[in-house]
């Protein structure tokens, strides 16, 4: 069993003869005592567990000798999060779920260094008595996450039923259901193709625990991209792309685009070798990028099946001010239009 500290922890458990036949949640509770069995059940339902590389969302799954369990989970937090009166940009809400447009800079879960001011704190205050409880506790059910510095549409469940139903959709990655996730990204350079797919497994970078990397032993990761606009002039090119996720790994789009030679604009983690390219830009786009201070990435679209009505729902989050400023600054250099 291995424990890697940081934003997330990876727990690798090898099932021996003594554990063969045990329930998945029971065996994990014995192997990973920092989490309660109820918390582990929630993580399993949310798609945080794979067995032999395949996602398993059934807590009572019967283990076999030789199974290799991988649990990828947020670092445990001792204190219960407190409700905080933090304004939310709500796109939709009913008695089962809430859809919000997450701002730049907001952390989703309380964690060391960010116990307050998170989306969970805000949802606890806003939803109040409308939270029916997840795992017997009145709390929002977070079924997916966005990085602190990624803006855009996010979904949370208010009830145990909604949480389980939505978590199963995310675990399936939309392969057999209506789940749809699309991001807008501004990347350096001009892609050779108007559309393409990046399929490369991801795991924690052994040289830097804050980064993800392409690894043969990593988790399956697939990103489909389509070019929406190309901007440029002598000495520089920037491409606006739409990325549709077939899987949802940490930093997936950022790593995949960097891997094909087109890291995201202003990505301070994965585009360090492109920092000098900013100096080739005209003053207005250069200033817009300097003002970003974060990766040019926005969760623009989210579609899913409603957990009680079965209705296919679709939401779009408008660009935040900083990315709209970047788009406006680049538009005079749109290569689709003669100048």
Please give the pLDDT value at position 67: 93
The confidence band for 36, taking pLDDT boundaries of 50, 70 and 90, is confident
Of 3 and 250, the one with more pLDDT: 250
Which tens digits make up the pLDDT trace of 257-269?
999 999 999 999 9
Averaged pLDDT, 225-239 = 95
Is CATH 3.30.70.2190 correct for 90-172?
no
322 tagged catalytic? no
- For residues 187 and 171, is the Cβ–Cβ distance under 8 A? no
Q: Which residues pair with 183 in a beta bridge?
A: 243, 299
Q: Do domains 8-73 and 182-299+322-333 have the same CATH topology?
A: no
- Buried residues in 172-210 as b, exposed as e (16+ CB within 10 A): ebbeeeebebbbbbbbbbebeeeeeebebbbbbbeeeee
CATH class of 8-73: alpha beta
Three-state SS at 331: helix
Averaged pLDDT, 293-304 = 96
Which tens digits make up the pLDDT trace of 48-103?
899 998 889 999 999 999 999 999 876 555 457 889 999 999 999 999 999 999 99
* Of 147, 149, 267, 322, catalytic: 147
**Taking 70 as the threshold, does the pLDDT of residue 309 lie above it?**
yes
Q: How many residues in the chain?
A: 339
Of 228 and 177, the one with more pLDDT: 228
The confidence band for 158, taking pLDDT boundaries of 50, 70 and 90, is very high
Q: What is the residue extent of each domain of the chain?
A: 8-73, 90-172, 182-299+322-333
**pTM score:** 0.76
Three-state SS at 27: helix
Please give the pLDDT value at position 332: 95
**Taking 80 as the threshold, does the pLDDT of residue 162 lie above it?**
yes
CATH class of 182-299+322-333: alpha beta
């Amino acid at each position: 069993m291995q424990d890697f500290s940081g934003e997330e922890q990876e727990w690798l458990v090898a099932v021996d003869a003594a554990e063969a036949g045990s329930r998945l949640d029971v065996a994990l509770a014995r192997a990973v005592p920092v989490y309660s069995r109820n918390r582990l059940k929630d993580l399993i339902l949310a798609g945080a567990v794979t067995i032999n590389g395949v996602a398993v969302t059934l807590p009572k799954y019967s283990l076999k000798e030789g199974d290799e369990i991988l649990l990828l989970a947020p670092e445990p937090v001792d204190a219960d999060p407190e409700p905080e009166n933090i304004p939310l940009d709500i796109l939709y809400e009913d008695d089962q779920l809430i859809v919000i447009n997450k701002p730049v800079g907001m952390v989703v879960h309380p964690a060391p260094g960010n116990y307050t001011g998170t989306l969970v704190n805000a949802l606890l205050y806003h939803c109040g008595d409308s939270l029916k409880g997840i795992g017997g506790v009145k709390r929002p059910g977070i079924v997916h996450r966005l990085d602190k510095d990624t803006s855009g549409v996010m979904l949370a469940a208010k009830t145990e039923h909604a949480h389980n139903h939505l978590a199963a959709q995310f675990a399936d990655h939309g392969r057999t259901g209506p789940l749809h996730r699309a991001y807008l990204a501004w990347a350096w350079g001009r892609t050779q193709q108007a559309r393409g797919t990046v399929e490369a497994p991801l795991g924690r970078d052994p040289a830097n625990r804050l980064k993800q990397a392409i690894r043969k032993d990593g988790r399956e990761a697939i990103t489909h991209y389509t070019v929406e606009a190309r901007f440029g002039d002598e000495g520089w090119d920037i491409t606006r792309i739409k990325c549709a996720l077939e899987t949802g790994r940490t930093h997936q789009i950022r790593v995949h685009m960097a891997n094909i030679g087109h890291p995201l604009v202003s990505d301070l983690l994965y585009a360090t070798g492109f920092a000098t390219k900013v100096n080739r830009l005209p003053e207005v786009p250069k200033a817009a990028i300097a003002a970003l201070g974060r990766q040019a990435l926005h969760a623009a679209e989210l579609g899913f099946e409603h957990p009680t009505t079965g209705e296919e729902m679709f939401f779009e989050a408008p660009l935040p001010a900083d990315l709209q400023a970047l788009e406006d600054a680049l538009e005079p250099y749109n290569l689709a239009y003669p100048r």
